[in-house]
Structure 1
Amino acid sequence: MTLRPVETWLTDMDGVLVHEEVPIPGATEFIDALKESGLQFLVLTNNSIYTPRDLRARLLGSGIDVPETAIWTSALATAQFLADQRPHGTAYVVGEAGLTTALHDVGYVMTDRDPDYVVLGETRTYSFEAITRAIRLVDAGARFIATNPDPSGPSQQGMLPATGAVAALITAATGRTPYYVGKPNPLMMRSALNRLDAHSESTVMVGDRMDTDIVSGLEAGLRTVLVTTGSTRPEDVERFPYRPTRVVDSIADLVAMVGSPARGEHGIDAGHDSGEGHGEG
């Protein structure tokens, strides 16, 4: 089968471009190469706390200049999903500005009076009162949506409970499981492709987690590249029943590939045997 040349790049943020707010070597050069190539790209994140404008400022503070329009969050994907499912609906939201702004922008009204949905996102200030209200609304029949299933997240002080952990609390109380929009749901990838009017067969997904980035990219029909600067260690790759198209040490190894042919010895598909190809730039 002849593979189409790469025309679009999707890349995860945490563990690929940055650790917290510390840039990973090669990240700035990779983004600059994408902008210079003229290829379409999006930076993806399951974190729903921040708006794209916020994230652009945070990345810029790390020396990585990503346009606001090139950032796609689980909050944006969730808002788009709800707008498609039930246009101009209502929602009770447990989350931060990234989520509430995205929902407002698609015409949703925030309310705690018989909402169509309870939407749970990331927040650093979960309140017992808000979670109790969410439980009662879900129990009364509101549809339960969560931006992503991540059970925990990092901070400078250590692990933090994330959306998946709080969703589990609500599920335990109500017996209702949320529909998760973010990775590993391939819907997150497809919504990103739709935003760019891009095709899966000419798109590459770069991520640091086999169980979210790589599997969602694979299920959406994308070629995938695992970088080993984040969650999945090189020795763990072979434990999974699926494989990325390629494994590299870090995002720095992909700078030279941007704009190069998608096949041949310098392409993404060179060294398709990812277990043996680790470390080949």
Structure 2
Amino acid sequence: MLGSLIFLGALALVTRADAGMADRIGATFVLMSDDFIKAFNPLEGLVVGVEGSLLYLDLGESAGAQVGQEFTIFRKGDEFHHPLTRKVLGRYEEALGHAQLVRVQPRFSEATYIPIEGKPLPRADDGVRITRGRIKVAVTPVLDLTESNTKPDLRRVPYLLAVVLERSKRFQVVDPLTVGDVFAGGGAYVQEVLALPERAVRVSKKFDVAGWVVPVLLERRGVVYLDATWISAVTGTALFSRRAPLLPPAAAEEQRFPWEPASED
């Protein structure tokens, strides 16, 4: 992380306009970050039905289920015991695949089944869960699709987003400097992560992550928006995204992180 701090210091030399745009993106993401955190709250349930590649889970809206969530499917096996007392400590578990929620009802949900090669098919009474541990994620560089002739330097943005995600205590974020080097060197492209599932899965294995947060700048009728999309490392597809207009400079200043210097826009 020391390398990241040194890099952040170097980025303090960017122009005032560039710094202001990065701050506005970071502040806008703060306001939408709760949606990302809620989507990955720890959650556990059961498979209650199987129809081909469609699974029915006993998790509905009342339990916190929402479209776009990704669960690990597991099957409990034999008990294991303490070697001295012989007390039951738990049961072995076998991961069977993943379930991505596509429809949520008040008391149950429907999910697409993504298998793990060589594993048995799921059946009723198998378990599903979103882990209680931190979820490893990477943040891509910003994809700027605005119509501006002069593109601002937005290299600070992945660091700002990483701080937000890390402070939630739900995510472990790969060092943005390491990720940025791969993209800057042509080892990966943001457009590929967004649009080419096989490529997204392949680059995910390089960093051993569960998913990607991809920040995109869009312009519609003169208004610039931040679109933040979660890409699954399992399927390489977008599970959900959030979009909001960029906060104006004054509002971005109010959202500033305590350790950041004041904006000079």
TM-score (norm 2): 0.27
Bigger strand share: 2
TM-score (norm 1): 0.26
Bigger helix share: 1
**Larger relative contact order (C-alpha < 8 A, sep ≥ 6)?**
2
